[in-house]
């Protein structure tokens, strides 16, 4: 069984003993080595022996910390991605849903842009990792739940029609983001500017048909949501600022 823990897990523990500090040092060396090798060589071509050698530990010691390469991949993903997601929602703009969604997705894209090799591994491998013990689902639930809350807030402001499912729409928005992320990381990747413009246009198109019509907004006593062109221009400026 893997004993690797994420940063969030480690923060819940008190002052560590020398033994615990040595264990954490090995964990961090293992994760750094695996991250570097996965990003450079890819997931399939990296061997556990190479990871152990790069971390300056024995192969047997590695298996005390991580039973499989999947354990290592998920530990890297959760350790870094959880922090990015938390920061993205904490720094979201107090504007409209389109701006907020572009900000959150822009933070995720900026993270992946820092190491495209590792990002390709995440995109290719993580959707197929068995999640009974890895915890990928918990990380994704936090991201999708945060987007759903943004949608719920937009409905409360009168920006979106009532009766929409925030959870379902959150999944739709994430799927549009993921499609553009794949386009930017594929074998024939598109330029970053084209990827970002495609994301903005896709999200704007999805949300355009879900806003209140002028008559409905006036009848409800609420200000009409900004036009899609105005929302799109503002969101595009936000996304460019993320990179």
Domain ranges of the chain: 7-68, 71-242
Distance CA 24, CA 56 (A): 14
Banded model confidence at residue 14, pLDDT cuts 50, 70, 90: low
| The most confident of 128-132, 194-198, 210-214, 233-237, by mean pLDDT | 194-198
Closest by CA position to 178, among listed 122, 235, 114, 239: 122
Q: How confident is the model at residue 110 (pLDDT cuts 50, 70, 90)?
A: very high
% residues pLDDT > 90 (the chain) = 50
Instruction: Report which DSSP code applies to 57.
Output: S
Tell me how far apart the alpha carbons of residues 158 and 224 are, in angstroms, rounded to a whole number.
8
- Specify the CATH superfamily of domain 7-68: Homeodomain-like (1.10.10.60)
Bridge partners, 211 (sequence order): 160
Mean pLDDT of 43-54: 93
Distances (CA, A) of 150 to 12, 30, 107, 235: 28, 37, 16, 15
**CA distances from residue 216 to 147, 162, 166, 213, 220 in whole angstroms, order as listed:** 25, 11, 20, 5, 6
Q: What is the pLDDT of residues 85-101, one digit of tens each?
A: 999 999 999 999 999 99
Closest of 141, 161, 148, 242 to residue 207, by C-alpha: 161
Which comes out higher in pLDDT, residue 15 or 243? 15
Q: Give the span between the Cα atoms of 219 and 116, in whole angstroms.
A: 49
Query: With contact defined as beta carbons under 8 Å apart, do 108 and 177 qualify?
Result: yes
The better pLDDT of the pair 209, 228 is held by 209
pLDDT > 70? residue 133: no
| CATH of the structural domain 71-242, one choice from 2.40.30.30, 3.30.460.10, 2.60.40.10, 1.10.357.10 | 1.10.357.10
Give the residue, 156 or 188, on which the prediction is more confident. Answer: 156
Predicted pLDDT at 134: 63
Asked if 104 contacts 213 with a C-beta cutoff of 8 angstroms, the reply is no
Tell me: pLDDT of 116 over 70: yes
């Amino acid at each position: 069984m893997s004993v690797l823990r994420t940063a969030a897990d480690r923060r819940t523990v008190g002052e560590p003993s020398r033994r615990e500090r040595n264990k954490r040092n090995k964990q961090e060396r293992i994760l750094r080595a695996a991250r570097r090798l996965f990003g450079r060589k890819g997931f399939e071509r990296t061997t556990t022996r190479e990871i152990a050698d790069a971390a300056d530990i024995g192969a047997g010691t590695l298996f005390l910390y991580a039973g499989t390469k999947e354990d290592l991949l998920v530990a890297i993903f959760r350790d870094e991605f959880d922090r990015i997601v938390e920061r993205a929602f904490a720094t979201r703009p107090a504007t409209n849903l389109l701006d907020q969604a572009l900000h959150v997705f822009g933070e995720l894209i900026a993270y992946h842009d820092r190491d495209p090799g590792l990002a390709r591994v995440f995109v290719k491998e993580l959707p197929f990792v068995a999640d009974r013990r890895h915890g990928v689902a918990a990380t994704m639930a936090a991201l999708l739940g945060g987007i759903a809350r943004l949608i719920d807030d937009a409905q409360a402001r009168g920006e979106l029609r009532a009766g929409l499912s925030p959870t379902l729409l959150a999944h739709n928005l994430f799927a549009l983001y993921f499609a553009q992320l794949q386009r930017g990381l594929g074998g024939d990747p598109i330029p970053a500017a084209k990827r970002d413009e495609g994301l903005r246009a896709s999200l704007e198109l999805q949300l355009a048909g879900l806003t209140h019509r002028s008559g409905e907004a006036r009848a409800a006593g609420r200000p009409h949501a900004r036009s899609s062109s105005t929302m799109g221009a503002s969101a595009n400026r936000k996304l460019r600022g993320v990179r």
